[in-house]
Amino acid sequence: MKSKKMIVIYGVLLVVALSLMVILYTVSRKVEIVLPRDFSEIVNSGELNIVTDYNPIGYHVSGDTLAGFQHGLIKALEQDWKLKVNIFLENSLDKNLQGLKQGRYDIVARNIPVTTHLRQQFGFTESINLNKQVLVQRKPEFNDSITPIRQHLDLAKKTIHIHRDSPVILRLQNLSHEIGDTIFIIQNDIYETEQLVMMVAGGDIDFTVCDEVLARKLAKEMPEIDVDTDISFTQLESWAVRKDSPVLLDSLNAWLSRFLTPASTHSLSHRK
């Protein structure tokens, strides 16, 4: 009788132990432990993980080579720091920053509009660019002679299409409060900013918002669009690192201060 009871007890304990192992394994798969990885750890590993976005200004294919402002900076950093740089492409800023938090990337190398909210979560380099957001709409000759919007008050009750999780959303929400009326924001899960601009040009949507540098480049290729209405003030744009990588941030700032001279930045977009 006792032996049967012991067998039952052992069986129950075995089931409990196996259940705990399954639970612990499941939890370990869901929780990503980010080990500290500052400049010394990066140097010791010999590799630097950088994520950037693909667009006509920062990183793109030109003929049979890669080009763009961010591409030029990244390649120069790789050469000067004598590290192997692993470049990841991801257009979603939200996914970029999430990957940075989780330790998949060491640097988010794209033009990030620095806000107070983001500064509380990440470390940002000194300003790499000055930029602002502009409204993208059609010119009158491509829009039934409708005059383009020039005053923010005229955005009341208008619908603006934005890529999901874009930092522009916060600015539009604040602008809605400023004018005391609703600006309808549709977040698009499929198309990036460049595709949304193309949709404006083609008449599929009426409005989107784009940073001025990219907008003016696209306007040269799409004569239908008007990009002369500012949505934001001039903003600082920087690269991002984790808060627990202060030495990496200092090293980046020191390198950028030496590298970003008028002579060097002139050729960045053509650097292979």
Instruction: Identify the pLDDT of residue 59.
Output: 76
CA distances from 185 to 62, 168, 191 (A): 34, 10, 15
Identify whether the C-beta of residue 109 lies closer than 8 Å to the C-beta of residue 70: yes
**pTM as predicted:** 0.72
* b/e sequence 34-73, b meaning 16+ C-beta within 10 Å: eeebbbeebbeeeebbbbbbbbbbbbeeeeeebbbbbbbb
pLDDT tens string 14-26: 555 555 565 555 5
Instruction: Identify the pLDDT of residue 269.
Output: 45
Q: How far is the C-alpha of 267 from the C-alpha of 104, rounded, in Å?
A: 30
CA dihedral 59, 61, 64, 67 (to 10 degrees): -30
Residues of the chain with pLDDT > 90, as a percent, come to 62
Average pLDDT taken over every residue of the chain: 86
Label residue 79 by pLDDT band (50, 70, 90). Answer: very high
In this predicted structure, the answer to whether residue 27 has a pLDDT above a threshold of 50 is no
Q: Which of 170 and 165 is assigned the larger pLDDT?
A: 170
Which run of H or of E encompasses 156?
A: none
pLDDT tens string 115-155: 888 899 999 999 998 899 999 999 999 999 999 999 999 99
Range 34-42 average pLDDT: 85
Label residue 35 by pLDDT band (50, 70, 90). Answer: low
Q: Which of 113 and 248 is assigned the larger pLDDT?
A: 248
pLDDT tens string 90-110: 988 889 999 999 999 999 999
In this predicted structure, the answer to whether residue 77 has a pLDDT above a threshold of 70 is yes
Instruction: Identify the pLDDT of residue 207.
Output: 98
Q: How far is the C-alpha of 186 from the C-alpha of 208, rounded, in Å?
A: 10
Instruction: Identify the pLDDT of residue 17.
Output: 56
Identify whether the C-beta of residue 93 lies closer than 8 Å to the C-beta of residue 237: no
pLDDT tens string 179-197: 999 999 999 989 989 999 9
Single-letter amino acid code for the residue at 167 = P
Instruction: Identify the pLDDT of residue 251.
Output: 97
In this predicted structure, the answer to whether residue 262 has a pLDDT above a threshold of 70 is no
Label residue 36 by pLDDT band (50, 70, 90). Answer: confident
